[in-house]
Amino acid sequence: MMTTDLEIICVGNELLIGKTLNTNAQWLGRQATSLGANVKRITVVQDIVDEIVNVICEALARKPRFIISTGGLGPTFDDKTLQGVSKALNRKLEINQKALTMVKQKYEEYAAKRPVSTTTELTPARVKMATLPEKAEPVGNPIGTAPGVKVDLEATVLFVLPGVPSEMEAIFCETVVPLLKQSTGGMVFYEKSMFVDNMMESRLSPLIDKVMSNNKGVYLKSHPMGAENKPHIEVHITITAGEKDKPEEKLSRAIAELATLIEENNGKAILS
């Protein structure tokens, strides 16, 4: 079965200057991987239209099955993601009536819940959140105001999601997850960690190579966590496969083989 390749694009100056930790990238990467997708690239760019255009065009040229962008969908001047998407796809921006209805309903809901008078007028800033590239489909935002956006392209489905983590996560779970599951066709991701003591990473490395060679489809990655004079290494062991391929059994065999090799070389293996 072909892999479902996915790329993540995060838009926001605050991510690049270190003001905001990019938790969206970590969360999306973990969720997509757990659903059997192959996350090939995560890119972070400034709130500059041409930067957004460039990164979207580059991603589309690689033809991943999905591209998910986060950030830049709000009403303020620096929310420029949809301008970038529009320019990258060579499609004009237009007021989307379905999106406009979504935005209007949200402000009416907010007004109904507040004791003081709140305007529901569709100001230019609010209409901006409903101004999408032509042929784009607005996606309901269960938590916030700005709709997400879905664009079906020839080889790729592009999702443009808000940067607010709770909103992004809600739209992802409601709208993106079913499509990902359908695309991955029942692929599953399994992972385990083993901790290794009394062994330098340079001695552990050839043992990992041997286990990977003997267990096709299983990926092992070492992460040093201790000091040079007292090595403590985490080995992260993963597999993505269909259930019929018995991935758990394959993972268990690889773990058992690595543990044996470590003990034979005077190391100590501890399974978490």
pLDDT at residue 118, rounded to an integer: 66
- In angstroms, how far is CA 115 from the centroid of its own chain? 39
Averaged confidence pLDDT in the chain: 94
pLDDT at residue 147, rounded to an integer: 96
Mean per-residue pLDDT, 58-65: 98
Mean per-residue pLDDT, 213-225: 96
Q: Which of 229, 133, 248, 140 is nearest to 190 (CA)?
A: 248
Mean per-residue pLDDT, 194-203: 95
Least confident of 114-118, 146-150, 192-196: 114-118
**128: Cα within 13 Å, side-chain hemisphere:** 16
Q: Is the separation of the CB atoms in 25 and 60 below 8 Å?
A: no
pLDDT at residue 1, rounded to an integer: 55
Output phi, psi for 115, to 5 deg. -70, -30
pLDDT at residue 113, rounded to an integer: 81
pLDDT at residue 227, rounded to an integer: 79
Q: Which domains does the chain have, with CATH numbers?
A: 5-184 (3.40.980.10), 187-271 (3.30.70.1130)
Percent of the chain with pLDDT over 90: 85
Mean per-residue pLDDT, 72-76: 92
| Confidence tier at 198 by pLDDT (50, 70, 90) | very high
pLDDT at residue 112, rounded to an integer: 82
DSSP 168-198: HHHHIIIIIHHHHHHHHTTEEEEEEEEEEES
| Confidence tier at 115 by pLDDT (50, 70, 90) | low
Q: Which of 87, 272, 125 is nearest to 196 (CA)?
A: 272
237 has which bridge partners? 192, 220
Mean per-residue pLDDT, 75-103: 96
pTM summary value:
0.91
**CA–CA distance, 247 with 249 (Å, rounded to integer):** 5
**Which region holds residue 21: left if phi is over 0, alpha if psi is between -120 and 50, else beta?**
beta
| pLDDT at 49 exceeding the cut of 90 | yes
Percent of the chain with pLDDT over 70: 98
E strand or H helix at 67: strand 66-70
Mean per-residue pLDDT, 144-167: 96
| pLDDT at 84 exceeding the cut of 80 | yes
| pLDDT at 228 exceeding the cut of 90 | no
